Structure 1
Amino acid sequence: MKWLHQILFLLLLASAAASCKKFLNVEPADRTGSNSFWKTRQDVEAAVINCYGFLFQKFNDFNSPVIPAVGDMRCGGIGGSIASGQLGQGFYTLSQNDLSNTTNLGVPERYHLNDIDDWGPYFESIANCNITLAEIEKMTTLTDTEKKQYITEVKFVRAFTYFYICRLYGDVPFYTQPYDKTPRPRTSFITIFNTLIAELDAVKDDLPWTATNPSDLGVRACRGSVYTLIAQMNMWLAGFDKANQSKYWKDAAEKCVAVKNSGAFELLPIEETKRIFKGKTKESIFEFELNRNYGNTSLYVNLGQWMTHSPIVDYGGNSDLYFVRPLMERIYPPNLPDKRRDTWFYLPYSNNQTFMFLKQINVADPTGYWSFEDNLMVFRYADVLLLGAEALANLGSNNTEAISMLNTVRTRAGTPLFTAGAEDLKDAVFWERQKELIGEGHRWYDFVRTGRVTDPNQIITPMTQDQFDRGAWTWPIDAKARQNNPEIVLNLYWIR
């Protein structure tokens, strides 16, 4: 951390001149001096875009399956051929939530799963945001409206980074000032989230509900994405700060209902799945762009890339991985109609590698060393509707609105609507999120924050309450985090 801020400022200046359309590539350009930077609106635009790039680089670095590994694989219910060399004993170990030796899981090295232990790049992103915010505040060539919008965008990126790493590692050091080299201990994520919610609440209306430029839809923060992030943090807090649950549920519900009432977002037909996950639609609230025209594709970033075979890709007759039949039957009961099951899966109950997951199949190159360009979907409108329904159901104060939001998603899916008394509303919303968001990196976190991760009737890989309390829901932290910060205590549950 001591060297981090010094390097980042120079790197920011060097990379910020890159084309806006290529903002996901954090590459140095020919501008390394501050004398020629932070002068114009174009300089600020480049710097703000670069904030997104620092974060996305971690998600797509080395084509590592960060999102599916931490968000879906840990839930269990994933099978594959150990002999194939693709799944390996390591992916099975991961699906059992055994992270006691992530440096030697047995997963082929090219998948870089051991890199998930390294939280350093996330703090590079945070430091970059802190510097950018400080510089924007000093700018005199921006209008008040421009300055507010840019500041809100960067605060969103910083808050999202903290949201992501706190769900992954638990408590983390909290930095909000530029060039702060202080070795800080880990701060309670409850404190961090409450601080960030207050910060975002103060600026949440400084952006339009959605992007006015179609090329920015979803890939730039908007009011909808700020409201959604606040709601997400509230729902996470409700799971851990139980004394204040009602407050968190109320705020989350208000934010989700506001997004719905804005009229800025809509659900596209399930039949348009490829367009939804190619991105930049009215269903998208926040996403990271993958586009081969800009030099951005991935091999492993989305879970669907592990669960396809010919004729989708030129890769033989088997998928590397598949969802096991007990999981598929639990999420998508065979006796109930569901367009998602019929559209997103091939041989959904096969329980073998003939299975395919067809939710993310925008293939950039189907031959040879194939790659995909489905955008990395972070928040979708369906997610917001179901999150709002969950918050309202927990409050019990407006079940009519909760049922309406739930049934909006079910109507699009062509599955039976919820009717009071036929199902428990809270359970119905939870399992609807499992159906709707499968493969998008939400499932593990939904199990953790709701406490269902300890219920063997709910999750295939449960943990005991004692294991949960000792931090079994977190991811290990690499010991090198202590090299420049002796204040850091690692996640002790994973230290053997």
Structure 2
Amino acid sequence: MKNLIKNKISVIGLSLAFLFSFQACKDYLNIEPIDRLTGNNFYLSKKDVESNLAFIYARFFEKINETWVMGAIGEARSGEIFVSEGANSFNSRKVIEVLGKNNILEAMYNPNYDWYKIREITKWDKYYEVIQSVNILISKLEEGIPGVTGSDQDRYMAEAKFIRSFTYFWMVRLYGDVPYYTEAYHTEPMPREKMVTVLNNCIADLSPQKDLMPWSLNDPGLRGARPARGAIIALLMHMNMWNASFDPGNKQKYYTEAVNLGKQLIDSKQHKLVAPFTDQNWAIVTKGRSEESLFEFYKSINYGDNVEALAPFWDHFLRWPYKFPRFTNQLSHCYFISTYMNQIFPESDADKRREMWFEDITSDNGQFVLRKFGTNVYASGNEDKNPDNTFSIFRYADAILLYAEACAELGRDQEATTAVNMVRDRAQASRYNGGGGADLKNFIFLERERELIGEGIRYFDLIRTRRIMSAEWTMSPLTLDQYNRGGWTWPIDASALNNNPYMQLNQYWTTIGR
């Protein structure tokens, strides 16, 4: 093993203890060049830092490019998505309805669904590769890198801690408790840490970096594609709002912090909701790098980015002329059921999103189009391609509505109403003028459903607001017992147990799983 380390270093993987036994872990670890991961000969200039950051972002995107993860984790499990009769690969796509019943084990192991590679979602090794690389970068920044000083050093440190905190936040929402470490060369096996503690560690780590990061980067081409201060604020807001649910004894503290952060973002006027609300302007938002973007994985056909056909959420909800080629895309593969669409977009309520983002919104068949993601179609006559959109993670509208939610939870109803109406005004929707309390909280939740549909938010909102346990809000509710036992989590691949006597898998999925 020492000889192996001398020539190469294995990235921290599922067990976090792989250095002790190559034979036990060589089958699932990726081996990276020592200069990339150790920094011994790599971090010699600012250019090296930029190169490594590009590597880190690419590695994270590689993970979410493996399967339909943006739909599977954030949208499908609440049960409102159905497969269109006559859709291409109909039998394989039925996995989406299986996910909608929370039958994740069937989705993983039924060979009919192998095309979707659902089991890959249960593997966290690539996320820990990201964390390992970031930890080394932070260590090298602390030691000092030639040509990286002053504001550059501050910005890179803030960016690195953003990526690390974001990766932990992403994993917490998938797996619940996760191993947490920040050392550059950690090798000891370790147990999973309580998710509230993980996020509190991330909040404490990231908060001091917020004011060291500029509101905007010098290159406008990096807007959203690389985090600035708005991205850090959005992540801190999300982590506080998550913990408010799972650490109820301290929820007032979390809500207050989310309100303070949201107010900073809004008062800065550094971001805006792109308006007027037209097809042309909305295409700018979905294309990426808009003034509305806080953080995204920017992808463009112009750069030859390799986006797997199944990876984008919108692949399943578009048909010709929004998706090519015509002869194989006469139908959208999936649709949101009409009862749900009527709940969030009642026909009697004025809302331009209803007409601009959808076609055949209540058809309950393959004529349904989520046109929200269909405006960046590029010329392609016969190639099976998706529209040229980015993968949005945090958007200004999301942060505004989180701020509104936190205000409502603190009884600051007027501030909450003002914030939610910012989003509705852009959408040319009727303003909220109802009462406070539960009515306002429910309205804000539904406004998040409307504004953020298809952006991988819904299921996590159901979890953290505990609406996941009510048939009023989801077609696939959990019982209190299922919720408490982690029925909302994903299974963790059994390889996480390798070489780690302290590791435990998610009990819900190793027992009944129902």
TM-score by structure 2 length?
0.88
Q: How does 1:391-410 map to 2 (within 5 A)?
A: 391-396=406-411, 398-410=412-424
Asked if 1 retains the 8 angstrom alpha-carbon contact of 2:98 and 2:106, the reply is: no
Distance 2:247 2:491 in 1: 23
Q: Secondary structure at the match of 1:229?
A: helix
Contact conserved, 1:339 with 1:414, CA < 8 A, in 2? yes
Superposition pairs of residues 464-483 of structure 1, within 5 angstroms: 464-483=479-498
Pick one of 64, 68, 82 that aligns with 1:79.
82
Q: Is 1:274–2:287 an aligned residue pair?
A: no
**Contact 2:313–2:454 (8 Å) recurs in 1:** yes
| 1:50 alignment partner, one of 55, 72, 85 | 55
Question: Which of 447, 450, 475 matches 2:462?
Answer: 447
Deviation at 1:30, TM superposition (A): 12
Q: CA deviation at 1:415?
A: 1.2
Q: Any stretches of 5+ residues in structure 2 without a counterpart?
A: 13-29
| Correspondence for 2:366 | 353
Retained in 2: the 8 A contact 1:93–1:105? no
1:272-329 Cα shifts (integer Å, max 9, x gaps)? 2221010001000000011122221422222211111112222332111000110100
Is the 8 Å Cα contact of residues 55 and 122 (structure 1) preserved in structure 2? Answer: yes
1:143 and 2:153 equivalent? no
- Contact 2:39 2:140 (C-alpha < 8 Å) held by counterparts: no
Letter in 2 for 1:460: M
Change (3 A) 1:155 1:122: same
2:320 corresponds, among 280, 299, 310, to 310
Q: 1:318 to 1:134 in 2, by over 3 A?
A: same
Which of 333, 343, 354 lines up with 1:330 in the alignment?
343
Matches within 5 A, 1:33-72: 36-61=41-66, 64-72=67-75
Structure 1: runs of 5 or more not aligned? 10-25
CA distance in 1, matches of 2:319, 2:32: 37
Distance 1:125 1:228 in 2: 20
Residue identity (%): 35
What are the residue-to-residue correspondences of 1:90-489 with 2, within 5 Å?
90-105=95-110, 108-141=113-146, 142-269=148-275, 270-271=277-278, 272-298=281-307, 299-313=309-323, 314=325, 315-361=328-374, 362-364=376-378, 365=380, 367-396=382-411, 398-421=412-435, 424-489=439-504
CA contact (8 A) 2:223 2:293 kept: yes
In 1, the alpha carbon distance for the partners of 2:305 and 2:434 equals 46
Q: How many Å apart are 1:373 and its aligned residue? A: 2.6
SS in 1 for 2:355: helix
The answer as to whether partners of 1:297 and 1:372 remain within 8 angstroms in 2 is no
The one-letter code of the counterpart of 1:65 is: W
Q: What is the SS of the residue equivalent to 1:379?
A: strand
**Cα distance in structure 2, aligned partners of 1:426 and 1:462:** 19
Shift of 1:7: 2.8
Q: CA deviation at 1:36?
A: 4.6
Contact 1:48 1:153 in 2 (8 A): no
**Distance change >3 Å, CA 107–CA 117, structure 1 → 2:** farther
Q: 1:135 to 1:69 in 2, by over 3 A?
A: same
Question: Which shows bigger deviation, 369-378 or 277-286?
Answer: 369-378
For residues 157 and 436 of structure 1, do their structure 2 counterparts lie closer, same or farther at Cα, with a shift above 3 Å needed? same
The alpha carbon displacement at 1:110 in A equals: 2.8
Instruction: Look up the match of 1:14.
Output: none
Runs of at least 4 residues of structure 1 off by over 4 A? 2-5, 26-36
Letter in 1 for 2:314: G
Counterpart AA for 1:70: I
Secondary structure in structure 2 of the residue aligned to 1:474: coil
2:340 partner letter = L
Q: Secondary structure at the match of 1:204?
A: helix
Distance 2:434 2:383 in 1: 52
State the secondary structure of the residue aligned to 1:484: coil
2:509 is equivalent to residue 494 of structure 1: yes
Number of residue equivalences: 476
Inter-CA distance 341–60: structure 2 relative to 1 (3 Å threshold)? same
| Aligned equivalents of 1:153, 1:484: Cα separation in 2 | 32
Describe the shift of the 1:395–1:107 C-alpha distance in structure 2 as closer, same or farther (beyond 3 A): farther
| Length-normalised TM-score, structure 1 | 0.91
Deviations 1:213-239 (A, max 9, x none): 111000111111111101100000011
How far does the alpha carbon of each residue in 1:330-366 deviate from its partner, in whole angstroms, 9 at most, with x for none?
1100111211111111100111111111112233546
Residues 417 and 187 of structure 1, relative CA distance in 2, 3 Å threshold? same
8 Å contact from structure 1 (residues 256, 388) kept in 2: yes
Amino acid at match of 1:345: F
Deviates more, 1:193-202 or 1:140-149: 140-149
CA contact (8 A) 1:44 1:136 kept: no
Larger mean CA deviation between 445-454 and 271-280 belongs to 271-280
RMSD, aligned CA: 2.3
Work out the CA distance in 1 between the residues paired with 2:352 and 2:201. 41
Q: CA deviation at 1:35?
A: 6.1
Contact kept in structure 2, 1:346 and 1:357, CA below 8 Å: yes
Helix, strand or coil: the match of 1:79? strand
CA–CA distance in 1 between the matches of 2:93 and 2:228?
Answer: 41
Counterpart CA distance in 1 for 2:260 and 2:112 is 43
> CA, structure 1 residues 366+71, in 2 after alignment: closer, same or farther (shift >3 Å)?
farther
The 8 Å contact of residues 75 and 457 in structure 2, kept in 1 or not, is answered as: yes
129 and 419 in structure 1: CA distance in 2 versus 1, 3 angstrom threshold: same
C-alpha distance in 2 between matches for 1:329 and 1:106: 35
| Offset, 1:8 | 4.0
Q: Structure 1 residues 308 and 107 mapped into 2: Cα distance closer, same or farther (>3 Å)?
A: farther
